[in-house]
Structure 1
């Protein structure tokens, strides 16, 4: 018997077909030798083996028929083996596709999370920048007021000394402080910030100008 009925790898599903092939092989004087020899070989080797039998003039025609039936059975076996390999390959491809989809989904989730974190950080940075601007503005305002207060205290003290003999006139005191203030601002002594360099001198000079218009003698 060439083809084993119990062989699941033979590729045949019906016992009647296998029995008929075995009968044809046996009836033509063949046996299981050809089938067993090429059972695990690729179709190229099977065809080459059948060709060597067919072209041999010394081999009887009946034996050639027996080998042809065995080659037919082997062709079904090869086709079944190839189909199983293709099924396994397709299953592997499906598994790879699922893995890639899962990895893509994970990556998309990570990207979305990172974008949300980035937006949150940007929002915090904008808020911190606005708060910093407000704090700097308040600092500059307080600094300017402190300078004006110190200068006003100096003017007040010197105006009180103007009542004593030998004290310079009020106009000279105002002129002196105006020059000192301008010199200090030029040297950066009272500089607050690049944006505020002109704010303090204007305010203080206006104060001095008003004080000049109303000297201590009129108070």
Structure 2
């Protein structure tokens, strides 16, 4: 018997078909030799083996016919083997696709998380920038008030100087030292210590008003 219908790898589902092929092989004087020789070979080798028999003039036609039936059975076997191999390959590819989809979903989730973290950091930086801008503005204001206070003290000292020939008009003194204040702020001349900046207050303006109401000449 060339084909064993109990062989699950034969590719045949009906034993009647297997019996008919075996009968044709035996009826034409063939046997299981050709089938057993090529049952694990690719179709290329099977066809080459069949060709060598078909073109041989010394081989009887009945034997050629028997080998052709065996080759037919081997072709079904090869097709079944290829189908099983392709099925396994498809299953592997499907598994890879699922793995890639899971990895893509994970990457997408991580990317969204990073974007959210980036937006949060940008928002914090903008808030910090605005706060810093406000602090700098307050520092400059306090710096100017402190310098105005020091200038007011200098104006009072000059107006009360005994050697000063008379008290000049207050607006002239204020204009003079205001111009010096603006020039000094631009040139960085008036540099104050952090401690002085912390003690500066609105008393500078109050001192200016008191000096204007009570000039040194009236004391």
- TM-score of the superposed pair, with normalisation by structure 1: 0.81
**Counterpart of 1:4?**
4
**Counterpart of 2:154?**
154
**Counterpart of 2:32?**
32
**Counterpart of 2:73?**
73
**Counterpart of 2:84?**
84
Q: Distance in 2 between matches of 1:134 and 1:183?
A: 24
Check 1:102–1:172 CA distance in 2 against 1; reply closer, same or farther (3 A cut).
same
Q: Distance in 1 between matches of 2:187 and 2:165?
A: 26
Q: Distance in 2 between matches of 1:119 and 1:75?
A: 64
Check 1:181–1:171 CA distance in 2 against 1; reply closer, same or farther (3 A cut).
farther
**Counterpart of 1:105?**
105
**Greater length-normalized contact order (CA 8 Å, ≥ 6 residues apart):** 2
Whether the 8 Å CA contact 1:171–1:212 is kept in 2: the answer is no
Superposition map of 1:173-184 within 5 A: 174=173, 177=177, 181=181, 184=184
Whether the 8 Å CA contact 1:170–1:212 is kept in 2: the answer is no
Moved more, 37-46 or 169-178: 169-178
The alignment yields a C-alpha RMSD, in angstroms, of 2.8
User: How many residues align structurally?
Assistant: 202
SS at match of 1:170: coil
How many angstroms does 1:5 deviate by? 2.1
Q: Distance in 1 between matches of 2:184 and 2:50?
A: 113
Whether the 8 Å CA contact 1:171–1:215 is kept in 2: the answer is no
Whether the 8 Å CA contact 1:9–1:77 is kept in 2: the answer is yes
Q: Unmatched 5+ residue regions in structure 2?
A: 193-203
C-alpha offsets along residues 108-165 of structure 1, whole Å, 9 cap, x if unaligned?
1111111101100010001000100110011011111000111112222332x34x4x
